[in-house]
Amino acid sequence: MNTADDLKLDEEVANSWVRIIEERFAIEIDEFRLAAFTRALTSFACETGEELEGLLKLFVSGQLDEAQRAYILHLATNHETRFFRYPPSLAAITEVCANLRRPPRVLSVGCSTGEEPYSIACSLLRAGHAGFTVHGTDVSQPCIDKARQGIYRGHPDLRADVAAPHGPNRIRFHAWVRDMVTFEQHNILAERPVNFPAPDVIITQNMLIYYRVETRHLILQKLAAMLPVGGHLITGPAEDGNWNPMGLKRMPNHLLNLFVRVA
């Protein structure tokens, strides 16, 4: 059983982790997620033969490899998602893509386990697009691995036009749909560029909220720089932290933040 001193030490180590995660990844872990994060991290530390404090030392001294660092970031972030989560975003993407003269290219940043990119694909298919690419990126390799399988619990809006039954209560997107939805493990704060040039639309929803306002603006500026002139950037309502972009025009939309690149 833990003594009071042990508990105090655990709390200090957990707080050090939060500080370091914030410093290194610019992610904020609030008090509501702290307990879950500490539990998950303790279990990961055990798997590597360490305790929380030992793992922290390895992390700080740069002795963890990229995959281990990425897994810690996976534990520090929230991956909640669902199909057709925010219909106004899907409507905006469909509307922008209706005016393109080539197969649309849509980038979903912070796509978690793939529900968002597949929802976009369903919307484009149902709007009559025969060809397009939706590219989902997420910092979490486990999320990307799941997304690539294209297997999910059944959902009333995932019908035979896009998916087929795959065992009890499961569906799998048809192979030809999966071919049009690609995934990449990628940290949007890293220097490496996303492997998806000239997207017509970039969407990032429910990801910026975990970052400080300055970091949100940095991420948005990076995303803006990826857009060709005429390309659109979408974030959820109130997620942009009152961003005032250069070279982009804010389009009137009271349900989301919609920007178009003008220069």
Ligand X SMILES: C[S@@+](CC[C@H](N)C(=O)[O-])C[C@H]1O[C@@H](n2cnc3c(N)ncnc32)[C@H](O)[C@@H]1O
Cα distance between the two ends of the chain: 63
Asked if 231 touches ligand X (CB under 6 A), the answer is: no
Nearest distance from C-beta of residue 202 to ligand X, angstroms = 12
Least separation, in Å, of the C-beta of 66 and ligand X?
Answer: 14
Interface region with ligand X, contact rule CB under 6 A, candidates 3-11, 181-189, 223-231, 242-250: 181-189
Compose the 43-62 pattern: x for residues touching ligand X by CB under 6 A, - for all others: --------------------
**How many of the other CB atoms lie within 10 Å of CB of 82?**
13
| The Cα angle at residue 26 between residues 25 and 29, in degrees rounded to 5 | 95
Burial class (CB in 10 A: 0-12, 13-18, 19+), 245: middle
Binding mask 232-251 for ligand X (x = CB under 6 A): --------------------
Stretch that binds ligand X, among 36-44, 144-152, 166-174, 186-194 (CB under 6 A): 186-194
- Of 143 and 163, the one with the shorter C-beta distance to ligand X is 143
CB of 190 to ligand X, least distance (A): 8
Phi, psi of 49 (to 5 degrees): 75, 20
* Binding pattern for the stretch 78-117 against ligand X, x by CB under 6 A and - elsewhere: xxxx---x------------------------xxx---x-
Q: Of the ranges 55-63, 98-106, 139-147, 167-175, which one interacts with ligand X (CB under 6 A)?
A: 139-147
Q: What secondary structure does DSSP assign to 48-73, as a single string?
A: TT--HHHHHHHHHTT-S-HHHHHHHH
β-pairing, 163-165 vs 170-173, is antiparallel
For ligand X, give the closer residue by CB, 45 or 109: 109
CA distances from 231 to 199, 219, 234 (A): 7, 16, 10
Lookup: tokens for 88: 């106004």
Q: Whole-angstrom Cα distance, residue 20 to residue 41? A: 13
Tokens describing residue 257: 């933040």
Judged by CB under 6 A, the chain residues 187 through 206 that form the site for ligand X are 187-189, 205-206
Q: Which of residues 17, 59, 72, 77 is near ligand X by CB under 6 A?
A: 77
Of the CA atoms within 13 Å of residue 74, those in its CB half-sphere come to 19
Taking CB under 6 A as the criterion, the residue among 207, 227, 234, 258 binding ligand X is 207
**Distance between CA 109 and CA 84 in Å, rounded?**
16
How many amino acids of this chain bind ligand X (CB under 6 A)?
A: 21
- Contact between 171 and ligand X per CB under 6 A: no
140 binding ligand X? (CB under 6 A): yes
Q: Which residues bind ligand X (CB under 6 A)?
A: 77-81, 85, 110-112, 116, 137-140, 143, 187-189, 205-207
